[in-house]
Structure 1
Amino acid sequence: MSNAEEQVTQSILCIPVQCESIDALKILIVGKTNGEYLVAGNILMNSQTKNFFEIQFDEHDEQMQQAFTYAGKVTGISDSCLDQIADHNYVVYLISNDIGLEGARALADAGLAILKTAGLGVKVESAGKAFDRESWEQLVNDDEYDRLFDLFVIYSLTNEDGSVYSCGMHNLGYKDTIVYGEEFQDAASLIRIFCYYQLLEDPEIMPGQTFSPEVGAPVFVIEEESDPPYKDHDLFTNPFGMWKMERVGTDN
């Protein structure tokens, strides 16, 4: 894993809400969480863990339902959730600079607190992935690290050249992965397994090493990707970098 202390990035949640006013929402957050979360200025703080996040409030966004529809395709977001989002009157953004597994867990918990207060759904702006309330809560309440992967990472994006890649691993403090020369389902499965391996084992990976998802399966060589697909997209750019995986024996 790259040295996070040398990198600067953010994890961002977008949460449309239905409430009387921003001031009313701030009061509700305290009441609905029994004082666990407090809002002071542009800071949301967990009074128990002392974790804090930047919090921003915006007015109704006409494009919000469309954005959730697109970002919710991979998660199967419900039509009822999308209908509710169309009627939101404010938008909450939670911004965290605490990148890594523990920071992601804290941000996921904070997002759930806003959902339970007045939230209608959650979109991970720094991955392009959206959830309805029930799905977010179910995943947050599972303590396994792979659930953080399911919350913050997409692993099945495709390029015109047929390569398949992940987006959002920087939310967890790791590089993303791109796979060349494989069928879509095989590539997506390889990316998911490789990402899980990193989250569970935190191995030291060096360019030139090889990886196989299981005994008897194809072997892939790992290299640095010099041209990530979303290098010009501020929210998706991974400052840790991206691993490139190709089957051993493939001509480059």
Structure 2
Amino acid sequence: MNRTQVLLAIPGNWSSAEAVSEQISLHSEGYTMAGLLLLEDETGKAFTVEVVERDPALAEAMIHASSGGFTPKIAKGLARHTHIVYLIVDVNDVSDIAAARRAANAILNAGGLGVMVETAGVAYSKDEWQESKEEDLALDYSLLTAITEEEDAYVSWGMKAFGHADVAVPATLEIEDAIHVVHSFNFHLISGGSMFGDGDSFTFEDGKTFTVEMGEDERTSIDNLLHNPFGLIYLVPQVAAE
């Protein structure tokens, strides 16, 4: 797996930056703050933490990036947040992805209100993020990635968290089919399936075949948090010969 990073923004109502550490010590069993590091006691994993003052734009971005999980009450709480904890996770393998979700849980338990996945442009309420505590790669994938409909394609975002390129399929596909193709191909990659090169074919169980076209991610500037340095894969449907 390619080495990469995940960046999570977690707003909350803390009286000060120091109070974040205090609340983690009180309410996040299994974690310890040591300066700018959040340490997971059982595994020894360390996560970089940066605490900053409130940013009204983040609350607006989270509501816009959510799938409806922010009730009016939660949205009002987000708007009143006092500080933001940025959780920076170095990812070397999928176990680090699971660790990122656990670490975010610890900060939520210490007063966090929700999670913005800055590397995918998607946001969740506390309840949505903590809906399941099970170790589940499919759940990690669903939380750290997103699919959007663009002018001429359906595209995924956030696959760089798993060290892979994002995927695009033509907008001519039915939306249900497009989502199925993107999710299935992405999960094939992150679960250890065979890798593909430019010009290779990928066939689904229903017999539909797509040609893999490797490309650069030119959707955003290189310095944008959403930019995927591993590229963008275009899956082009193959037309069956008559």
TM norm structure 1: 0.87
Correspondence 1:175 to 2:165: yes
Per mean C-alpha deviation after superposition, the further-off stretch among 129-138 and 22-31 is 22-31
Whether the aligned pair in 1 keeps the contact of 2:217 and 2:228 (CA below 8 Å) is no
Change (3 A) 1:24 1:62: same
Cα displacement (A) at 1:51: 0.8
Counterpart in the other structure of 2:14: 19
Correspondence 1:29 to 2:24: yes
Question: Which residue identity lines up with residue 11 of structure 1 in the other structure?
Answer: V
Correspondence 1:4 to 2:2: yes
Say which SS state the counterpart of residue 206 (structure 1) adopts. coil
Whether the aligned pair in 2 keeps the contact of 1:75 and 1:130 (CA below 8 Å) is no
Change (3 A) 1:75 1:103: farther
Aligned partner of 2:189 among 195, 198, 212: 198
Whether the aligned pair in 2 keeps the contact of 1:17 and 1:88 (CA below 8 Å) is yes
Aligned partner of 2:116 among 123, 134, 138: 123
Counterpart in the other structure of 1:219: 209
Per mean C-alpha deviation after superposition, the further-off stretch among 194-203 and 82-91 is 194-203
Counterpart in the other structure of 1:234: 224
**In structure 2, what is the Cα distance between the partners aligned to 1:19 and 1:26?**
10
Counterpart in the other structure of 1:79: 72
Say which SS state the counterpart of residue 191 (structure 2) adopts. helix
Question: Which residue identity lines up with residue 73 of structure 2 in the other structure?
Answer: S
Cα displacement (A) at 1:60: 1.6
**In structure 2, what is the Cα distance between the partners aligned to 1:186 and 1:233?**
32
Say which SS state the counterpart of residue 103 (structure 1) adopts. helix
Residue ranges of structure 1 left out of the alignment (5+ in a row): none
Number of residues of Structure 1 aligned to a counterpart in Structure 2: 239
**In structure 1, what is the Cα distance between the partners aligned to 2:149 and 2:96?**
28
Change (3 A) 1:227 1:97: closer
Per-residue Cα deviation, 1:182-228 (whole angstroms, up to 9, x for no partner): 23332122101111222334322222222233224x21111202454
Counterpart in the other structure of 1:147: 139
Higher share of residues assigned strand:
2
Per-residue Cα deviation, 1:107-157 (whole angstroms, up to 9, x for no partner): 111000000111011111111110011110114x13221101111000x21
Whether the aligned pair in 2 keeps the contact of 1:123 and 1:131 (CA below 8 Å) is yes
**Aligned-residue CA RMSD in angstroms?**
2.0
Correspondence 1:95 to 2:88: yes
**In structure 1, what is the Cα distance between the partners aligned to 2:129 and 2:217?**
32
Change (3 A) 1:75 1:172: farther
Whether the aligned pair in 2 keeps the contact of 1:17 and 1:91 (CA below 8 Å) is yes
Say which SS state the counterpart of residue 63 (structure 1) adopts. helix
TM norm structure 2: 0.90
Correspondence 1:46 to 2:36: no
Say which SS state the counterpart of residue 10 (structure 1) adopts. strand
Identity of aligned residues (%): 27
**In structure 1, what is the Cα distance between the partners aligned to 2:217 and 2:13?**
41
Whether the aligned pair in 2 keeps the contact of 1:126 and 1:236 (CA below 8 Å) is yes
Counterpart in the other structure of 2:155: 165
Whether the aligned pair in 2 keeps the contact of 1:220 and 1:246 (CA below 8 Å) is yes
Question: Which residue identity lines up with residue 243 of structure 1 in the other structure?
Answer: I
